[in-house]
A and B are shown apart, each in its own frame.
Chain A
Amino acid sequence: MAEVKLLGTWPSPFYYRVVWVLKLKGIAYEFIEEDLNNKGPLLLQHNPVHKKIPVLIHSGKSICESMIILEYIQEIWPQNSLLPADPYDRAIARFWIKFAEDKVNPLAFAGFYGEEQKKAIRDSLEMLETTEEHALRDKTFFGGDKIDLVDIAFGQLSQWLQMVEDVTNVKLLDASKFPRLQRWINNFKQVPIIKENLPDYQEMFAYFKALRVMLLSSK
């Protein structure tokens, strides 16, 4: 069987997206931890353009950008399909995946300090409103009865969002304003593969808190 390696960093949500999908499809892989403060030759060789994780290396070939990696995995290993079979439904799924990329991804970098904070809060609330009203609506998961790549794309909201709120002391997802999203977070975290593969909250909190202190002091 061909070799699968995943270059990543705890606790990056983009790395976790790939972990979730590899495990949901039962694909064995080797994890290679990358130190982002000291980027190694493997990362520079396999992602020379962006120099970012995650990078999937399959039979020596590298694939970069988490959602592109996930479409690749879906095509090579179609079992437990994570995209709709119908082309129109698939186009809608891709639309929401792109929305998550454009609007949810920035949360990972938590530009929640100084003057950028007000704008970041406004943008986040707008993103949550659109997600609640248009993307999720009354479904259990974005994928319907079970999770699919859209849920994976929004996966950051399941734990990383709360961490950003706790580290910055800013409440974004008020359960009374976003009941569907709150329900989704609870359901998503109960999916066995997700439940078993989330970073330890306390460790992650400590890590980001320290990171924020460092960023603030350098400003």
Chain B
Amino acid sequence: VSTQAISDVVFIFISASEAGTSQHNIYIKTAQICGCERKGDMAESNVKVLGTWASPFVMRVKIALHLKSVRYEDVEEDLLAPKSELLLKSNPVYKKIPVFFHAHNPICESLIILQYIDEVWTTSASSILPSDPYERSQSRFWAAYVDDKFFPALRRLLIGATEEDKKAALAEVVEGTVVLEGAFGELSKGKAFFGGDNIGFVDIALGSLLGWIEVIGKQCETKLVSEAKTPRLVQWADCFSAHEAVKDVLPDVDKLADFGLKLRAKILKALAPTN
């Protein structure tokens, strides 16, 4: 009987008897019991992404894996249905996708997953973060800006209930695009991407939002990334969307728009005060 089979059986036994223990604990215990290396079989076939086609955060992980030519198993989580057992167990703290599994070890938070992928698969041509520490800090800063400032404004624009809410959110989003246009000028140094000649951390962080940016823009009857205010970003968006590692990951805009309506309804229903 292979050690992998033993660890699978032990894993099932432990997870059944220690419900609520963090996933990380379970994997450590498994490794200790069967005496195998925690990481076990590090073969590339042991890579899994728990996510959904519509989530930009999941898209980030897939783009990174495509860049590194790493094959993975795609496990779909239905965002409109109650959360799955696997999700609740592998991400007990946030209960959110994506969850990335490498040899059964789960990692959560898309930007953290990207850094892990970059650090583990170093033999392939594309580096996601720059090698220079100062440039790395700049990439991290702008990716954090996308997540902490730009994305929340975009989300408020999607779920905005009143005209006033939408107007305020729209102003924030447009201001964000202008700031990002400036960042692009600084980071790209005249090349096609934030990462220079190749797509990198910030390209993936922002580019993964392009589908939603288009859908939300159509809803507001505005081009959120406009030629007038952000000509370089417009050009960048085309280059990014056409990239080998990206084009099969970005979703069909009509399909996303339809999903967006359902998601908005679900969120608004959850936020509405109960009688």
Contacts and interface: CB of A to CB of B under 8 A. Distances in A.
A137 B120 CA distance: 27
B140 A68 contact: yes
Contacts of B39: 88
B24 A92 contact: yes
A63 B22 CA distance: 34
A64 B141 contact: yes
B109 interface: yes
Interface stretch (B52-60, B100-108, B151-159, B261-269): B100-108
B133 A75 contact: yes
27 contacts: A49-B145, A49-B179, A63-B134, A63-B137, A63-B141, A65-B141, A65-B144, A68-B140, A68-B141, A68-B144, A72-B134, A76-B133, A87-B116, A87-B119, A88-B39, A90-B116, A91-B112, A91-B113, A91-B115, A92-B107, A94-B109, A95-B108, A95-B112, A98-B112, A99-B93, A130-B93, A134-B92
Nearest to B108: A95
Interface residues of A, number: 25
Interface in A68-118: 68-69, 71-72, 75-76, 87-88, 90-92, 94-95, 98-99
A146 interface: no
Contacts of A130: 93
Q: Which of B93, B107, B113, B119 has the most CB of A within 10 A?
A: B93
Contacts of A69: 137
A71 B145 contact: no
Contacts of B108: 95
B167 interface: no
B247 interface: no
B137 A91 contact: no
Interface size class of B (residues with CB under 8 A): 20 to 34
A177 interface: no
Nearest to B147: A98
A68 B137 contact: yes
Given A68-B140, A92-B24, A134-B93, A61 B112 contact: no
A94 B144 contact: no
B115 A61 contact: no
A127 to B, nearest CB: 10
Contacts of A72: 133-134, 136-137
Consensus secondary structure, chain A interface: helix
Contacts of A64: 141
Interface in A44-75: 49, 58, 61, 63-65, 68-69, 71-72, 75
Given A63-B137, A63-B141, A130-B93, 10 more contacts: A65-B144, A71-B140, A75-B133, A76-B133, A91-B116, A92-B24, A94-B109, A98-B109, A134-B93, A137-B25
B144 to A, nearest CB: 6
B134 A95 contact: no
Contacts of A95: 107-109, 112
Contact of A71 (B92, B107, B137): B137
In order of increasing CB-CB distance, the 4 nearest A-B pairs are A75-B133, A72-B137, A91-B116, A87-B119
A85 B18 CA distance: 29
Q: Which of A58, A92, A99 has the most CB of B within 10 A?
A: A92
Nearest to B23: A134
A75 B131 CA distance: 10
A75 B136 contact: yes
B137 A94 contact: no
Interface string B148-192: 000000000000000000000000000000010000000000000
Contacts of A94: 109, 112, 115
A64 to B, nearest CB: 6
Nearest to A74: B133
A88 B141 CA distance: 22
Nearest to A64: B141
B93 A88 contact: no
B205 to A, nearest CB: 14
B185 to A, nearest CB: 14
A63 B133 CA distance: 10
Contacts of B22: 133-134
B49 to A, nearest CB: 15
A75 B115 CA distance: 14
